[in-house]
């Protein structure tokens, strides 16, 4: 287990403290050679797949680069969850699915980052806060 990382599901849910990124909206784009330097320089995450490289960039940069797409809000779970912990992603996805909110999860070493449709960001925060409060009541 990573130092300081939490593995217990109830503890992770109770302490997740979901925070909306104040930087604004993000967009998932496929990196093309002509935009690679700008996109990769501003990307907060990349994923290499067989079909190409996806980057998550500020939506404003996507507009500048002519990369249309859906806008997403980033919600960071402030709990330092263990990368081998079981159930956090499932519990979060279930809470959001119950509210009909799509969610794309990117796990970093310290935190999980949830990308939800921009227009549903407030509802997502409410659902996550409710999930966390319910976990507090169990403890």
Give the pLDDT confidence score for residue 102 in this predicted structure.
98
**Domains, the chain, ordered by start:** 1-24+71-139 (3.30.2130.10), 26-70 (no CATH)
Q: In this model, does residue 117 exceed pLDDT 50?
A: yes
Residues 75-106 pLDDT 10s: 999 999 988 889 899 999 999 999 999 999 99
- Give the span between the Cα atoms of 137 and 139, in whole angstroms: 5
pLDDT at 3: 67
Q: What is the pLDDT of residue 1?
A: 46
Average pLDDT over residues 15-30: 96
Q: pTM of the entire structure? A: 0.91
């Amino acid at each position: 287990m990573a130092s300081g990382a939490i593995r217990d599901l109830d503890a992770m849910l109770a302490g997740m403290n979901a925070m909306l990124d104040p930087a604004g909206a993000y967009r998932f784009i496929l990196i093309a050679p002509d935009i690679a330097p700008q996109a990769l320089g501003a990307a907060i995450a990349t994923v290499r797949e067989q079909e190409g490289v996806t980057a998550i960039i500020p939506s404003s940069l996507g507009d500048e680069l002519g990369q249309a797409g859906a806008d997403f809000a980033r919600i960071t779970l402030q709990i330092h969850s263990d990368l081998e912990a079981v159930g956090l992603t499932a519990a979060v996805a279930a809470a959001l699915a119950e509210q009909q909110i799509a969610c794309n999860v990117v796990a970093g070493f310290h935190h999980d980052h949830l990308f939800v449709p921009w227009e549903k960001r407030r509802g997502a925060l409410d659902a996550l806060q409710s999930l966390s409060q319910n976990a507090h009541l169990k403890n």
